[in-house]
């Protein structure tokens, strides 16, 4: 009788510890990731200072960045609905060019795409920045050195529909490309592409030059 009693007690104890263990296993990743996020922020904030173009403020994430970082750190994917909400919020921030003119000069666009300077502690505050597009994309066929984090943009206009100065600005490809350059999260909630217009990395005029680089039929991207 006694041994049956002890057997069932130890069975329940074993069951209880198993439940406890599985609870720990299921709670731990989120708990640890949140802590890790906080510790990382503390270390970064503690060791950063304002220096020329770099401001400590850059460490403050907006809601969509924070959610994407947490999702990447925990491996817990955002729901499709949440992604759509983030994209809609970002799309709302896109500012159309004040003069209604979406294009500039593709040669200046190419120079910007090549230029990776800007926003480091050795750059003067307020200095204009490069676009560093080649760090992540192929663009013209002549440039052989490029990163592959983003898709190739070679023939971008040719495959989507080229457009130039006289084009109807309401064309979807013009609206999409402008919005993508202004705020890349408008179409991909957790995009790794810098949000050029939204964060003031590039100004309206510079984005116009990049629009020409991508869409002008004469641009090396489309030849």
Q: Please report whether residue 215 would count as binding ligand HEC according to CB under 6 A.
A: no
Non-local (6+) Cβ contacts of 83 within 8 A are 189, 190
Q: Is residue 151 part of the contact set for ligand HEC (CB under 6 A)?
A: yes
First to last CA, the chain: 89
How far from 218 is each of 36, 139, 204, CA to CA, in Å? Answer: 49, 14, 21
Q: Which residues touch 51 (CB under 8 Å, ≥6 apart)?
A: 121
Question: What residues from 157 to 196 belong to the interface with ligand HEC (CB under 6 A)?
Answer: 177, 180-181, 184, 188, 191-194, 196
Supply φ then ψ for residue 49, to 5 degrees: -150, 160
Tell me which of 64, 119, 137, 215 binds ligand HEC, using CB under 6 A: 137
131 binds ligand HEC (CB under 6 A): yes
Q: Burial letters for 1-13: b for 16+ Cβ neighbours within 10 Å, e otherwise? A: eeeeeeeeeeeee
Q: Given the complex with ligand HEC, which of 33 and 178 has the nearer CB atom?
A: 178
**132 lies in the site for ligand HEC, by CB under 6 A:** yes
Binding map of ligand HEC across residues 60-99, x = CB under 6 A, - = no contact: ----------------------------------------
33 vs 134, beta carbon nearer ligand HEC:
134
What's the DSSP call for residue 142? S
Instruction: List residues binding ligand HEC (CB under 6 A).
Output: 113, 131-133, 135-137, 149-151, 153, 177, 180-181, 184, 188, 191-194, 196, 210, 214
């Amino acid at each position: 009788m006694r041994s049956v009693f002890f057997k069932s007690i130890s069975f329940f104890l074993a069951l209880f510890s198993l439940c406890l263990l599985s609870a720990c296993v299921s709670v731990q990743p989120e708990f640890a990731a949140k802590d890790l996020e906080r510790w990382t922020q503390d270390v970064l904030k503690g060791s950063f200072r304002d220096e020329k173009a770099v401001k400590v403020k850059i460490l403050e994430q907006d809601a969509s960045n924070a959610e994407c970082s947490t999702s990447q750190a925990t491996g817990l994917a955002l729901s499709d609905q949440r992604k759509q909400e983030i994209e809609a919020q970002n799309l709302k921030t896109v500012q159309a060019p004040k003069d209604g003119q979406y294009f500039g000069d593709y040669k200046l666009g190419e120079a910007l795409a090549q230029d990776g300077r800007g926003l480091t502690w050795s750059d003067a505050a307020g200095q204009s920045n490069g676009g560093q597009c080649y760090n992540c994309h192929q663009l013209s066929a002549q440039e052989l050195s490029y990163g592959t984090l983003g898709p190739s943009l070679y023939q971008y206009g040719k495959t989507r529909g080229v457009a130039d100065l006289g084009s109807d600005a309401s064309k979807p490809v013009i609206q999409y490309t402008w919005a993508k350059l202004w705020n890349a999260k408008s179409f991909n909630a957790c995009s790794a592409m810098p949000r050029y217009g939204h964060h003031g990395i590039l100004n309206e005029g510079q984005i116009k030059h990049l629009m020409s680089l991508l869409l002008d039929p004469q641009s090396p991207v489309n030849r």
